[in-house]
Amino acid sequence: MKLRTIYDYLDEISPFNLQEEWDNSGVNVGDFESDIKKIYISLDLDEKVINDAEENSLIITHHPLIFKGIKRVIPDRFSTKLLFSMMKKNISNIAMHTNFDKTHLNEYFAKKVLELDGEVEDFIFYADVDMEFEEFVNYIKRKMNLDYLRVVKAEDKVKKVAITTGAGMSLLDFVKADCFLTGDIKYHEAMDAKIRGVSLIDITHYHSEKYFVDALYDALNNKIDIEVVKTNSDDPFNLI
Protein backbone atom coordinates (compact mmCIF):
# COMPACT_ATOMS: atom_id res chain seq x y z
CA MET A 1 0.00 0.00 0.00
CA LYS A 2 1.32 3.44 -0.89
CA LEU A 3 2.25 5.78 1.93
CA ARG A 4 0.02 8.43 0.36
CA THR A 5 -3.02 6.12 0.58
CA ILE A 6 -2.39 5.53 4.29
CA TYR A 7 -1.82 9.24 4.91
CA ASP A 8 -5.11 10.10 3.20
CA TYR A 9 -6.99 7.61 5.35
CA LEU A 10 -5.41 8.96 8.54
CA ASP A 11 -6.35 12.46 7.41
CA GLU A 12 -9.98 11.36 7.16
CA ILE A 13 -10.16 10.01 10.71
CA SER A 14 -8.16 12.89 12.27
CA PRO A 15 -7.52 15.80 9.87
CA PHE A 16 -3.94 17.01 9.96
CA ASN A 17 -5.07 20.61 9.45
CA LEU A 18 -6.40 20.55 13.04
CA GLN A 19 -2.86 20.49 14.43
CA GLU A 20 -1.46 23.50 16.25
CA GLU A 21 0.81 25.92 14.35
CA TRP A 22 3.88 24.83 16.33
CA ASP A 23 3.24 21.15 15.72
CA ASN A 24 4.81 18.91 13.06
CA SER A 25 2.21 16.21 12.52
CA GLY A 26 2.08 14.41 9.19
CA VAL A 27 4.88 12.69 7.28
CA ASN A 28 8.16 13.22 9.17
CA VAL A 29 10.10 10.54 7.30
CA GLY A 30 9.28 8.88 4.00
CA ASP A 31 8.19 9.21 0.38
CA PHE A 32 4.50 9.38 -0.49
CA GLU A 33 5.13 6.87 -3.29
CA SER A 34 6.79 4.28 -1.02
CA ASP A 35 5.21 0.84 -0.84
CA ILE A 36 4.40 0.08 2.80
CA LYS A 37 4.36 -3.59 3.86
CA LYS A 38 3.26 -3.23 7.49
CA ILE A 39 2.11 -0.53 9.94
CA TYR A 40 3.30 -0.22 13.53
CA ILE A 41 1.73 2.13 16.10
CA SER A 42 3.77 3.59 18.97
CA LEU A 43 3.66 6.61 21.25
CA ASP A 44 7.20 7.55 20.25
CA LEU A 45 10.10 6.29 18.19
CA ASP A 46 12.98 4.71 20.06
CA GLU A 47 15.69 2.21 19.19
CA LYS A 48 13.65 -0.78 20.36
CA VAL A 49 10.66 0.13 18.21
CA ILE A 50 12.82 0.66 15.12
CA ASN A 51 14.85 -2.53 15.68
CA ASP A 52 11.69 -4.60 15.97
CA ALA A 53 10.06 -3.10 12.86
CA GLU A 54 10.37 -4.84 9.51
CA GLU A 55 11.94 -3.18 6.49
CA ASN A 56 9.68 -1.07 4.23
CA SER A 57 7.23 -0.45 7.05
CA LEU A 58 5.49 2.61 8.48
CA ILE A 59 5.59 3.60 12.14
CA ILE A 60 2.75 5.90 13.15
CA THR A 61 3.62 7.81 16.31
CA HIS A 62 1.84 10.34 18.46
CA HIS A 63 4.86 12.60 18.92
CA PRO A 64 6.72 13.89 15.86
CA LEU A 65 10.31 12.73 15.47
CA ILE A 66 11.23 16.17 14.16
CA PHE A 67 10.00 19.35 15.88
CA LYS A 68 12.73 21.82 14.96
CA GLY A 69 14.94 22.32 11.93
CA ILE A 70 17.85 19.90 11.58
CA LYS A 71 21.17 21.43 10.50
CA ARG A 72 23.30 18.28 10.66
CA VAL A 73 22.32 14.68 10.01
CA ILE A 74 24.89 12.92 12.16
CA PRO A 75 24.08 10.37 14.89
CA ASP A 76 24.76 12.60 17.88
CA ARG A 77 21.18 13.54 18.82
CA PHE A 78 17.91 11.69 19.46
CA SER A 79 16.16 12.44 16.16
CA THR A 80 19.17 12.20 13.84
CA LYS A 81 20.43 8.95 15.38
CA LEU A 82 17.05 7.35 14.84
CA LEU A 83 16.90 8.73 11.30
CA PHE A 84 20.03 6.78 10.41
CA SER A 85 18.46 3.54 11.63
CA MET A 86 15.18 4.23 9.83
CA MET A 87 16.83 5.02 6.51
CA LYS A 88 18.81 1.75 6.58
CA LYS A 89 15.52 -0.18 6.83
CA ASN A 90 13.46 2.18 4.63
CA ILE A 91 11.07 2.89 7.52
CA SER A 92 8.64 5.77 7.19
CA ASN A 93 7.07 7.80 9.99
CA ILE A 94 3.80 9.68 10.26
CA ALA A 95 3.02 11.64 13.44
CA MET A 96 -0.52 12.28 14.67
CA HIS A 97 -0.07 14.69 17.55
CA THR A 98 -2.27 17.67 18.40
CA ASN A 99 -4.82 16.79 15.72
CA PHE A 100 -5.33 13.36 17.35
CA ASP A 101 -5.42 14.91 20.82
CA LYS A 102 -8.42 16.94 19.73
CA THR A 103 -10.28 14.25 17.82
CA HIS A 104 -9.52 11.07 19.77
CA LEU A 105 -6.93 10.75 22.52
CA ASN A 106 -8.24 12.94 25.35
CA GLU A 107 -11.73 11.51 24.99
CA TYR A 108 -10.43 7.93 24.68
CA PHE A 109 -8.32 8.27 27.81
CA ALA A 110 -11.14 9.80 29.84
CA LYS A 111 -13.88 7.41 28.73
CA LYS A 112 -12.07 4.13 28.07
CA VAL A 113 -9.29 4.25 30.66
CA LEU A 114 -10.75 6.35 33.48
CA GLU A 115 -14.36 5.37 32.70
CA LEU A 116 -15.66 8.90 33.14
CA ASP A 117 -18.62 10.33 31.24
CA GLY A 118 -18.41 13.82 29.81
CA GLU A 119 -17.52 15.80 26.74
CA VAL A 120 -14.45 17.24 25.10
CA GLU A 121 -13.84 20.91 24.34
CA ASP A 122 -10.84 21.28 22.04
CA PHE A 123 -7.92 19.92 24.16
CA ILE A 124 -9.87 19.51 27.43
CA PHE A 125 -12.26 16.75 28.46
CA TYR A 126 -14.73 17.63 31.22
CA ALA A 127 -16.54 15.24 33.54
CA ASP A 128 -18.72 15.75 36.61
CA VAL A 129 -17.31 14.00 39.68
CA ASP A 130 -18.59 13.92 43.26
CA MET A 131 -15.77 12.51 45.40
CA GLU A 132 -13.47 13.44 48.20
CA PHE A 133 -10.08 14.43 46.77
CA GLU A 134 -8.19 11.46 48.24
CA GLU A 135 -10.92 9.07 47.06
CA PHE A 136 -10.66 10.46 43.55
CA VAL A 137 -6.87 10.17 43.54
CA ASN A 138 -7.11 6.51 44.54
CA TYR A 139 -9.70 5.96 41.82
CA ILE A 140 -7.32 7.39 39.18
CA LYS A 141 -4.45 5.25 40.47
CA ARG A 142 -6.55 2.11 40.13
CA LYS A 143 -7.72 2.95 36.62
CA MET A 144 -4.19 3.79 35.46
CA ASN A 145 -2.61 0.90 37.37
CA LEU A 146 -0.12 3.22 39.08
CA ASP A 147 1.17 3.05 42.64
CA TYR A 148 2.05 6.74 42.96
CA LEU A 149 0.77 10.07 41.63
CA ARG A 150 1.97 13.59 42.35
CA VAL A 151 -0.96 15.74 43.47
CA VAL A 152 -1.79 19.27 44.55
CA LYS A 153 -4.79 19.48 46.87
CA ALA A 154 -6.56 22.81 46.68
CA GLU A 155 -10.00 21.70 47.90
CA ASP A 156 -11.36 18.73 49.87
CA LYS A 157 -13.92 17.77 47.21
CA VAL A 158 -13.76 17.19 43.47
CA LYS A 159 -16.97 18.18 41.72
CA LYS A 160 -15.82 18.74 38.15
CA VAL A 161 -12.63 17.48 36.56
CA ALA A 162 -10.75 18.65 33.47
CA ILE A 163 -8.45 16.21 31.66
CA THR A 164 -5.70 16.83 29.12
CA THR A 165 -3.27 14.03 28.31
CA GLY A 166 0.42 14.85 27.90
CA ALA A 167 1.58 18.29 29.04
CA GLY A 168 -1.42 20.57 29.47
CA MET A 169 -0.55 23.17 32.09
CA SER A 170 -0.42 25.90 29.44
CA LEU A 171 -4.22 25.48 29.34
CA LEU A 172 -4.74 26.35 33.03
CA ASP A 173 -6.28 29.75 32.18
CA PHE A 174 -8.99 27.94 30.20
CA VAL A 175 -9.79 25.22 32.73
CA LYS A 176 -13.36 25.41 34.03
CA ALA A 177 -13.14 22.81 36.79
CA ASP A 178 -11.93 22.42 40.38
CA CYS A 179 -9.49 19.62 39.51
CA PHE A 180 -7.17 19.28 36.52
CA LEU A 181 -5.54 16.04 35.39
CA THR A 182 -2.51 16.44 33.13
CA GLY A 183 1.21 15.68 33.01
CA ASP A 184 4.62 17.39 33.25
CA ILE A 185 3.45 19.77 36.00
CA LYS A 186 6.17 22.18 37.11
CA TYR A 187 6.70 23.60 40.60
CA HIS A 188 5.52 27.15 39.94
CA GLU A 189 2.60 25.91 37.86
CA ALA A 190 1.51 23.88 40.88
CA MET A 191 1.77 26.96 43.09
CA ASP A 192 -0.32 28.95 40.61
CA ALA A 193 -3.04 26.31 40.37
CA LYS A 194 -3.33 25.93 44.13
CA ILE A 195 -3.84 29.63 44.73
CA ARG A 196 -6.55 29.59 42.06
CA GLY A 197 -8.32 26.80 43.93
CA VAL A 198 -7.63 24.17 41.25
CA SER A 199 -6.41 20.81 42.51
CA LEU A 200 -3.95 18.93 40.30
CA ILE A 201 -3.24 15.27 39.62
CA ASP A 202 -0.09 14.66 37.58
CA ILE A 203 -1.01 11.70 35.37
CA THR A 204 2.44 11.95 33.70
CA HIS A 205 3.15 12.45 30.04
CA TYR A 206 3.92 8.85 29.17
CA HIS A 207 1.24 7.09 31.20
CA SER A 208 -1.55 9.35 29.99
CA GLU A 209 -0.55 9.23 26.31
CA LYS A 210 0.61 5.63 25.91
CA TYR A 211 -3.03 4.86 25.11
CA PHE A 212 -2.51 6.53 21.73
CA VAL A 213 -1.60 3.05 20.50
CA ASP A 214 -4.94 1.54 21.51
CA ALA A 215 -6.97 4.53 20.35
CA LEU A 216 -5.47 4.58 16.85
CA TYR A 217 -5.48 0.78 16.57
CA ASP A 218 -9.21 0.75 17.25
CA ALA A 219 -9.69 3.38 14.54
CA LEU A 220 -7.59 1.45 12.00
CA ASN A 221 -8.17 -2.23 12.75
CA ASN A 222 -10.17 -4.10 10.07
CA LYS A 223 -10.70 -0.81 8.23
CA ILE A 224 -7.49 -0.69 6.21
CA ASP A 225 -6.12 -3.46 3.98
CA ILE A 226 -2.69 -3.83 5.59
CA GLU A 227 -1.42 -5.47 8.78
CA VAL A 228 -1.42 -3.12 11.78
CA VAL A 229 0.76 -4.00 14.79
CA LYS A 230 0.56 -2.47 18.27
CA THR A 231 3.93 -1.76 19.87
CA ASN A 232 5.13 1.00 22.18
CA SER A 233 8.20 2.98 23.13
CA ASP A 234 9.55 2.74 26.66
CA ASP A 235 9.01 5.31 29.39
CA PRO A 236 12.40 7.04 29.82
CA PHE A 237 11.73 7.49 33.55
CA ASN A 238 12.01 4.95 36.36
CA LEU A 239 11.14 5.17 40.05
CA ILE A 240 13.90 3.81 42.32
| CATH 3.40.1390.30 describes domain 100-208 | yes
Asked if 125 and 106 count as a contact pair (C-beta separation under 8 A), the reply is yes
Q: Which helix (H) or strand (E) holds 78?
A: helix 78-88
Q: What is the mean pLDDT of the chain?
A: 96
Mapped onto helix, strand or coil, the DSSP state of residue 172 is helix
Ordered by start, the domain boundaries in the chain are 3-96, 100-208
**Lowest-pLDDT range of 23-27, 73-77, 134-138, 230-234:** 73-77
What mean pLDDT do residues 122-144 have?
98
For 240, other C-beta atoms within 10 Å of its C-beta total 2
Interval 56-72: pLDDT, tens: 999 999 999 998 888 88
Q: Which CATH superfamily is domain 3-96 in?
A: NIF3 (NGG1p interacting factor 3)-like (3.40.1390.30)
Asked if 59 and 91 count as a contact pair (C-beta separation under 8 A), the reply is yes
Asked if 95 and 24 count as a contact pair (C-beta separation under 8 A), the reply is yes
Tell me, what DSSP letter sits at residue 107? H
The whole-number pLDDT of residue 85 equals 94
* Alpha-carbon dihedral sign for residues 36, 41, 43, 46: negative
